[in-house]
Amino acid sequence: MKTSRLEWRVGLFVLVGLILIALLLLGFSKGMTFFHSNYRILLRSQNVSGLKVRAGVLMSGVQVGTVTDLKLAPDGKSAIITLGIYNQYRIHKDAQFIIEQSGFLGDQYVAILPTANQGDVFHNGDVAEAEVPFNLLQALQKVNGFVQHIDQTAQRLDDSIADVRRLVLNETTLTNLATMVGNFRLVSERALKTVDNIDSMVAANAPSIAVSASNLLFFSEEINQFAGALSNVLSTNAPQVTAAVKHIESSTAALEGIMAEMQAGKGLAGNLLKNRQLAADVSQIANNLSITTSNLNRLGLWGILWQHKPAGTSTNSLTPAKVPLTTPKTPFE
């Protein structure tokens, strides 16, 4: 009798212990307890990012449910996360769902960020969209690639600096640069001396420069007065000037007509230009006139027309003298 009672007590103690252990396991695993009823929200996300079943669902840091299921969506491009939300919490549809991580190496959980809490609330079986979670591995890969790019850029910069040192900052270039700087300094000194000399010259010849400037000013005033007087003369004698210009135009037209007639062979001048025989005759006449004029200058008119009679003739009668005409000699004969 005593043995049966002891066995019954031991069995009861083991059963209570198992129940307590199950309750502790449910509590530590953040699973659903038998004391909370819930409704489901289907959360669609591109990546679950290490989220596990029985992970917590927190809103403003307070656990409002757990993750009850994870499965692939029918389209095969996203995942469906089933959230078990306690019935005592109502979540509005304008809330944001984000998969976050507790600490640097902590567990993943679903964070609900309420906004204005306006509009309808989620009911059992409603679907919501989750933001793409932060993927630390992808971020590290991008950072690694960025570091590699920086390393390559630094290497290229080092190569460029080496090229600059080899091609630009060599001894010959530095010597030429120093020479150029020295030449530039010398040119600057000469320029300063030239400026000083110009200043001295200007200071020494300031009266002459002032007189020249005043003379130039006076000359410009005279030119202005002359221009004004000329303008007055032209404005006063505009009709006469216009008439003179017209006379010049008519004279020019008449001269052009004469030249045209000469070119056409009209008139004496035109015949002289076009008729060679007539031109030769005129040239002969001019030659004869030249000879006659020369004889007149040498013998005189009476010496040419009359001469003394020979012996035995009457002294009262005069006969024309026959004096041979000579052709005048040119200065070159």
pLDDT score for 323: 44
Residue 223 has pLDDT above 80, yes or no: yes
> What is the tens place of the pLDDT at every residue in 1-12?
566 777 787 788
* Strand, coil or helix: 83: strand
Say how far residue 230 (Cα) sits from the centre of its chain: 51
CA atoms within 13 A on the CB side of 30: 20
Write down the domain spans for the chain: 1-30, 37-132, 237-274, 276-320
Q: What amino acid occupies position 163?
A: D
- CB proximity list for 77: less than 8 A, separation 6 or greater: 46
Residue 291 has pLDDT above 60, yes or no: yes
What is the C-alpha separation between 185 and 176, in angstroms, rounded?
Answer: 14
> What is the tens place of the pLDDT at every residue in 250-264?
888 888 877 777 777
What are the tokens at 284?
């002969």
pLDDT score for 24: 72
pLDDT score for 320: 45
What are the tokens at 171?
């001894």
pLDDT score for 319: 44
Per-residue confidence band for 101, with pLDDT thresholds at 50, 70 and 90:
confident
Specify the DSSP class assigned to residue 187.
Answer: H
Q: Poorest-confidence range of 19-33, 77-91, 116-130, 172-186?
A: 19-33
CATH topology of domain 37-132: Elongation Factor Tu (Ef-tu); domain 3 (2.40.30)
pLDDT score for 8: 80
pLDDT score for 310: 47
Question: Residue with structure tokens 């007539």?
Answer: 278
Q: What amino acid occupies position 317?
A: S
Mean pLDDT of 184-197: 88
pLDDT score for 29: 53
pLDDT score for 30: 46
Per-residue confidence band for 36, with pLDDT thresholds at 50, 70 and 90:
low
What is the C-alpha separation between 210 and 140, in angstroms, rounded?
Answer: 82
pLDDT score for 35: 56
pLDDT score for 313: 46
pTM: 0.37
Q: Poorest-confidence range of 29-33, 48-52, 130-134, 160-164?
A: 29-33
What is the C-alpha separation between 67 and 58, in angstroms, rounded?
Answer: 11
Q: What amino acid occupies position 50?
A: G
pLDDT score for 172: 82
DSSP strand E in the chain: where?
A: 38-45, 56-59, 62-72, 79-86, 96-101, 108-113, 126-131, 306-307, 319-320
- The DSSP code sequence of 197-255 is HHHHHHHHTHHHHHHHHHHHHHHHHHHHHHHHHHHHHHHHTHHHHHHHHHHHHHHHHHH
